Amino acid sequence: MNKIRLTGFSEKDFGSILTQYKYSLHPGDIIAGTIFHQESQGFLVDVGVSIAGYLPIDEILLSSCNIRCDFKYLVNNTREFFIVAYNKDKQKLLLSIKRLDYIRAWKRIKQLESEDIILGVSICNINKGGILTILEGLQSFIPRSHLITLTAHEFMVKYHLPCKLLLADEKNNKIILSHKLALLDLYSDLLKVGKFVYGQITQIKQYGIFITIYGIPALLHISEIGHKYIKNINHTFQIGNKIKVKIIHVDMKQARLSVSRRELI
């Protein structure tokens, strides 16, 4: 095998090597280059040979939550790019940063999913259905059913919420997170089956009482309130009161608890 001298290695030498080995570029390939000029809607990229690389502004940022900013800092930046399209006749490459970041982000997310760890995510927006967040640069979502009861202001103050991955669907680019599952993990030593804890009553229904324990919702079913039949729960319990209960089931899929008072009465 012929060895190449690194000393004095020029762009011309690089081009001759590509020609010698019939180097070809295809959409989906990854190539290194240096951004050297900014235009109105994008950047010109030097990829080391006589091929013009173009990076549109829309192909820079990965997340839609990012606000469009001044990209002058990219000039003279050397990095890798994803090839979106290659016009052989015009010798032009359409390049992307965000598509390469997208591939790498999903690899990291799959790794995070396998490790089943607690994640700190940034809040992007709040709507009726839940919270839009950012995980590894990708937009993700925390459904309201997997959030503790907080006001929008309290969410914004917290800004970084501990969460666990509930769903990571790369095919449909769908990432669902759960704040409650993270809390269950954080309080795992306290929220074990058989433990006695205090919770605050949030709702009273005919079939039972809803309480929160460390922010986690729990149901005290009417059959678990005591040994005697209770005709009217409202006469015995009031919203806002704290009561002592025993954890009898931990639902890790729905991030909720079932509790009982039968041993306390």
User: Per-residue pLDDT averaged across 114-126, rounded?
Assistant: 87
User: Per-residue pLDDT averaged across 66-83, rounded?
Assistant: 81
CATH value at residue 81 = 2.40.50.140
User: Per-residue pLDDT averaged across 95-100, rounded?
Assistant: 94
Interatomic CA distance for residues 72 and 48, integer angstroms: 21
Say what the pLDDT of residue 161 is: 82
Which of 138, 168, 184 is the endpoint of a domain?
Answer: 184
Q: Does residue 110 belong to any structural domain of this protein?
A: no
Question: 68 with 81, same domain?
Answer: yes
Say what the pLDDT of residue 153 is: 47
Categorize the per-residue pLDDT at 56 as very low, low, confident or very high, splitting at 50, 70 and 90. very high
Q: How many residues does the chain have?
A: 265
Which residue segment(s) compose the domain that 51 sits in?
Answer: 11-96
Look at residue 68 and tell me whether its pLDDT is greater than 70.
no
User: Per-residue pLDDT averaged across 132-148, rounded?
Assistant: 89
Q: How far is CA 186 from the centre of its chain?
A: 19
Question: 79 with 152, same domain?
Answer: no
Which of 166, 184, 202 is the endpoint of a domain?
Answer: 184
| Model confidence pLDDT, tens digit, residues 234-246 | 778 899 999 999 9
| Model confidence pLDDT, tens digit, residues 154-212 | 555 456 788 999 999 999 999 999 988 888 888 888 888 999 999 999 999 988 899 98
Q: Could you write out the three-class secondary structure of 165-215?
A: EEEEECCCCEEEEEHHHHHHHHCCCCCCCCCEEEEEEEEEECCEEEEEECC
Question: 133 with 147, same domain?
Answer: yes
User: Per-residue pLDDT averaged across 127-142, rounded?
Assistant: 90
Q: Does residue 174 belong to any structural domain of this protein?
A: yes
Question: 87 with 154, same domain?
Answer: no
Categorize the per-residue pLDDT at 42 as very low, low, confident or very high, splitting at 50, 70 and 90. very high
Q: Does residue 103 belong to any structural domain of this protein?
A: no
Question: 152 with 83, same domain?
Answer: no
Interatomic CA distance for residues 250 and 58, integer angstroms: 45
Question: 66 with 80, same domain?
Answer: yes
Look at residue 21 and tell me whether its pLDDT is greater than 50.
no
Say what the pLDDT of residue 1 is: 41
Q: What is this structure's pTM?
A: 0.69
Categorize the per-residue pLDDT at 227 as very low, low, confident or very high, splitting at 50, 70 and 90. confident
Question: 19 with 81, same domain?
Answer: yes
Say what the pLDDT of residue 83 is: 93
Q: Are strands 216-221 and 256-260 parallel, antiparallel or unpaired?
A: parallel
